[in-house]
A and B are shown apart, each in its own frame.
Chain A
Amino acid sequence: MILPATLLTEVAGLLGILVLLSALYLQGQTFVDPTIRAIAAQSLILASLFVILFLESGDVSLLYLAAITAGVRGVLIPSVMLYQVRHFRHSMRESGTGQRVPSLVIVGVVMIIGGYALFKTALLPTLSNPAVSVPFVLVLLSFLLIVTRRNALTQMTGFLEEENAVLYAGALIAPSIPLLIEFAVVLDVLGVVLVGVILSATREVLRTLEAPELEQLRG
């Protein structure tokens, strides 16, 4: 190994913190464009982290995972989402939830603290890897994003963040788990179907991606 193990661990920790900060930045956005760019950045940071984990463990599957994360969630899906935004020829902003965003950021911070406390009590004794607390908290933040936002594209970033979190957890907890690449591929195919096909149909037929129009079904 060219780089010392302690340095790699420290870099991995730093990248983990950056992933968490990107999640908080996502929570704080009311416009859709920066949300999409933030999820792309988060995926690219995570891809770098997978490369570091590869350098630490030598497990080649982590390198493939890094390539998929960077290529699909870092570039492809965000590009399609930005294309959807450009179609409307104006900067899309959350309707309704915009005013609540600052308080949602506070909720996010509380979730980070509470999630870490929960992780430390319930999971750390078994997993014995404190770094897993980052993806654990990230899963909670992604759920928050999905359930509190009304714009379909922002909800989609929540889904991508959740996928990032679970693959991150998988790489930390059990990097030797079989099928990790396949898991990522299936999730990414689903992501492409969501943004490429369903959202395109939504845009064509409903002429909006805002939730008030996506609330026809009741009862």
Chain B
Amino acid sequence: MDQTILFAALLAAPAAGSIASLVPKDGVEVVASVTSSAASVLVSVCLFVLGAAGAYGPFYSDGLTKIMIITISSVFFTSVVYSSFYVKRIKEPLVRFRWYYALLDLFAFTMLLAVTVNDLGFVWIAVEATTVTSALLVALERERTSIEAAWRYTLIVSAGLVSSLLSVIFVYFSQGTLLISSLTSEPIRAGLLMPLAVGFALVGYGTKAGIAPMHAWLPDAHSEAPSPVSAMFSGILLPTSIYALVRTFDLLQGTASFEAMRYLLIGFGVFTAVLAAVIMGHQRNYKRMLAYSSMENMGIVLVGFSLGGIGAIGAAIQIVAHAFAKSSAFYEAGNILVAFGSKSMAEVQGVAARLKFSGYLFALSCLAVTGAPPFGVFVGEFMIISQAMSVGNVALVLLLAAVYIYGFIGLNRQSVLMIFGQGGTALGVSEEQPSQAQERLGENWVSVAVPLANLIVALAIGVYLSPTLFLAVQALGH
């Protein structure tokens, strides 16, 4: 089958879901969004299995593209399903729920467009459009803090992304085209503008990916957005921005400035990971803590892509594994928030005693995102540090090892205190009404099955799927 049709179908599904969600009839939005996201997963699996690298009409595909589409569509699907549990608990939403689902579908559409289109100009447009579609989602709960977070997110990210527009202009001025297939197949004309283009892309896309010191929006938006949206931000929006940065950076391969820019990107990646690992363990809000963990992971992923070789493949595997594990953690954070009514770790303690499954799943998800073996994140991190060893960069190996260990201890110590500790002050629903149904306590079959399924996939990536992903990325080229 011509892959152009499959790519078109991949984009048409969320677009159709978005339109159908606006039908003014109760329940239609959930059915439309679940159906369209499931269709996206199906098409992305077809593309992953059947596809070969190359340009197909307006689309471009290689190993990284395939990894990205399957990750985006999967987390989109699970977030839509989890939303059916979570959002109806929001008392005064900023927009009607049908608009929430329509925007969620459009958000996924823009991310899928960003990673499939064969034009750096359209990549920029799509990444910018993710801000337009997600700004209102952050403010959905209509609280002072969520509106403040939405403003900060939109302004900082937009201001940053205008820098990456300069990057696109520089690429066009120096190369005469923005087509990724042409830029990757023909020799790049060297000059000062290309490294400058990568520098501006680092500032612009780096802002959206949460790369320090441009990350100021990230902890706010992740902690204040509804949990399904936080899961999409952390699991797939940040990697989409990393994808756009990596596409620009890869153009430098074979030029004299490649090594210098490689070390610049590694420097920013390490700085982000170190900063996040240090701050993470001192957070008082568990959703902010997860947000800093995402920053740490994106810093490590950027290091992996910059190192190249097995490090880049490790970074791709880490993107997939982190997306599943972190979305699971955010869904469970949503369950905990529903049950306890607080995001403060001081107030939320002894979760395992009150919630039958979510506490244990949260603890396991925290282990998964911090690279505990045998979860997939561990495999990705191991491959990245292996590449650093193979190029003989001892300082980088030591720094990465320190980040892994410090981040692991910081996050898991906090999560264990939350799940098994005693002395929390949040009343929660359970103390007010001990006899309430489990659903009111933040758990029903959807709210448990969705994070559990994602956690199982994160585990399966580590145990079974890493070789498959490795071969897919390697065979299709990146």
Contact = CB atoms under 8 A, between A and B. Distances in A.
Interface of A: 122-123, 125-127, 139, 142-143, 146, 152, 155-156, 158-159, 162-163, 166, 169-170, 173-174, 177-179, 182-183, 186-187, 189-190, 193-194, 197-199, 201-202, 205-206, 213-217, 219
A202 B147 CA distance: 6
A97 to B, nearest CB: 16
11 contacts: A123-B196, A152-B151, A159-B159, A163-B162, A169-B166, A173-B169, A186-B132, A198-B135, A198-B150, A201-B150, A217-B145
A146 B283 CA distance: 27
Contacts of A219: 219, 279, 283-285, 288
Contact of A190 (B131, B196, B220): B131
Contacts of A122: 192, 196
B164 to A, nearest CB: 10
B159 to A, nearest CB: 6
B144 A216 contact: yes
A142 B165 CA distance: 15
A202 B149 CA distance: 10
Contact of A186 (B128, B142, B159, B192): B128
Interface string B123-163: 01100110110011001001111011111101100110011
Interface in B264-311: 279, 283-285, 288
Interface residues of B, number: 51
Contacts of A177: 121, 168-169, 172-173, 178
B144 A143 contact: no
Interface of B: 94, 119, 121-122, 124-125, 128-129, 131-132, 135-136, 139, 142-145, 147-152, 154-155, 158-159, 162-163, 165-166, 168-170, 172-174, 178, 191-193, 196, 219-220, 223-224, 279, 283-285, 288
Contacts, number: 133
B139 A170 contact: no
B295 to A, nearest CB: 13
A65 to B, nearest CB: 13
Contacts of B193: 126-127
Most buried by B among A125, A127, A213: A127
Given A198-B154, A205-B147, A178 B162 contact: no
B212 to A, nearest CB: 15
Contacts of A178: 121, 172, 178
A205 B169 CA distance: 39
Contacts of B162: 139, 159, 162-163, 166, 187
A114 B298 CA distance: 34
B173 A179 contact: no
The DSSP consensus for interface residues of chain B is helix
B335 to A, nearest CB: 23
A162 B203 CA distance: 14
B169 A186 contact: no
A199 B143 CA distance: 14
A99 B372 CA distance: 52
B159 A143 contact: yes
Contact of B125 (A174, A179, A201, A216): A179
Contacts of B150: 198, 201
A174 B224 CA distance: 40
Given A169-B166, A183-B165, A193-B132, A198 B147 contact: yes
Contacts of B174: 126
A170 B144 contact: no
Contacts of A213: 144
A69 B223 CA distance: 36
A139 to B, nearest CB: 8
A2 to B, nearest CB: 30
Nearest to B94: A201
Given A179-B178, A219-B288, 19 more contacts: A126-B193, A146-B155, A146-B159, A155-B155, A159-B162, A163-B162, A174-B173, A177-B173, A179-B121, A179-B122, A179-B125, A186-B125, A186-B129, A190-B154, A190-B158, A193-B135, A206-B147, A217-B149, A219-B284
A183 B152 CA distance: 22
B173 A173 contact: yes
Given A122-B192, A183-B121, A201 B154 contact: no
A119 B380 CA distance: 41
